[in-house]
Structure 1
Amino acid sequence: MDVTEIDHANLHIPADGVESAVAFYRDRLGLQIENRELYEAGEKPFFSVRLAPGAVLHLQPDEEFRTPSGDGFDHLAFRVDADIEDLKAELDEAGVELDRELEPLGATGVAPAVYVTDPFGYTLELKATRD
C-alpha cells in the first residue's frame, strides 16, 4: 500500500454548531467552507472545510455530540505555509487564543507549531514552515 496523503478527516460537532464552525474555520482561520448548501438541503450529513487543494475536514452536526475527552483523540495537525511568527500574528489578529507552542516531530520532521482549540473542543496543531 502506498498512501500519499490524507484526503479528509470527519469530525462531529454539536447539532447547533454550524454557525460557530463557520465563524472559527472561515472567519478566524480564513479557510473556505464547502457544501454547506448541500448539508442545509439535507443532501449530505456534513459540510466541509477546505484545508488544501487535496484535503478537507468534514464537519458533521450531531444531536448526540460529546466534547472530545482526550481518551481517544488528541489533535489534528496541519502544515501551514507561513513562518511561525507570521502565523502567530495572523491568529492573534483573528482573536484566536494559543493553547501552547512547541517544535514537534511530524511527517516532515521537526518544525515550530502552535496549538489552538476550535469551538467544539478539538485541538488543532498548526505547524509552520521551518526557517
Structure 2
Amino acid sequence: MKARHIDHVNLRIPEDGVETAREFYGDELGFGIEDALFEAGEKPFLDVRLSATGVIHLWPTAEFEPPTATNYDHVCVVVEESLDAIEAELDAAGIEIDRTLESPLGATGEAAAVYVRDPFGYRIELKARV
C-alpha cells in the first residue's frame, strides 16, 4: 500500500459552534467553507477546504469535549505564505500565536511554522511551503 496524502481529518465541534467555525476557518484563516449539503441536512458535517485534495470535516455534536494533551496534539496545514506573511495575516485577524518554530520537520521537509488554537481548543500548525 502506498499512501499519497491525507484526504481529510475529522474534528468534533460544539453543536452551537458552526458560526464560530465559519468565522475562524473561513473569515480569519481564509480557507474555503463548503456547507451547502450540511445546511440542506444532507450530511452531518461541514467542510473546511484546505486544497483541491484536502479538507477538515467539522462535526457539530452535543457530546463535544475539548481536546486534551492526552488525546490530540495538532493538525498541520502547509500554506503558500512565508513565515512573516503567516504571522502578519494572523495578527491582522486578531489570532493569538501559541508558538513559532523556525524549522520543524514534517512530511514535506523542514520549514517554518506557526501554531494557533481554533475556538474549540484544537491546535493548528500553519507551515510555510518548503
TM-score (norm 2): 0.96
Q: CA RMSD in A?
A: 0.9
Q: 2:2 corresponds to which letter in structure 1?
A: D
Residue in 1 aligned with 2:51?
A: 52
Q: Does 1:62 align with 2:64?
A: no
Residue in 2 aligned with 1:37?
A: 36
For residues 47-87 of structure 1, what are the alpha-carbon distances to aligned partners after superposition, in whole Å with 9 as ceiling and x for unaligned? 10000111011000000000001212100001111110011
Q: 1:33 corresponds to which letter in structure 2?
A: I
For residues 23-42 of structure 1, what are the alpha-carbon distances to aligned partners after superposition, in whole Å with 9 as ceiling and x for unaligned? 100110011100x2321222
Aligned equivalents of 1:55, 1:109: Cα separation in 2: 19
Aligned residues: 129
Residue in 1 aligned with 2:18?
A: 18
Q: 1:76 corresponds to which letter in structure 2?
A: V
**Structure 2 segments unaligned to the other structure (5+ residues):** none
Percent same amino acid at aligned positions?
55
Contact 1:84 1:129 in 2 (8 A): no
Residue in 2 aligned with 1:106?
A: 106
Q: Which runs of 4+ in 1 moved over 4 A?
A: none
Aligned equivalents of 1:86, 1:37: Cα separation in 2: 31
TM-score (norm 1): 0.95
Using the TM superposition, give the Cα deviation of residue 129 of structure 1 relative to its aligned residue in structure 2, in angstroms.
2.6
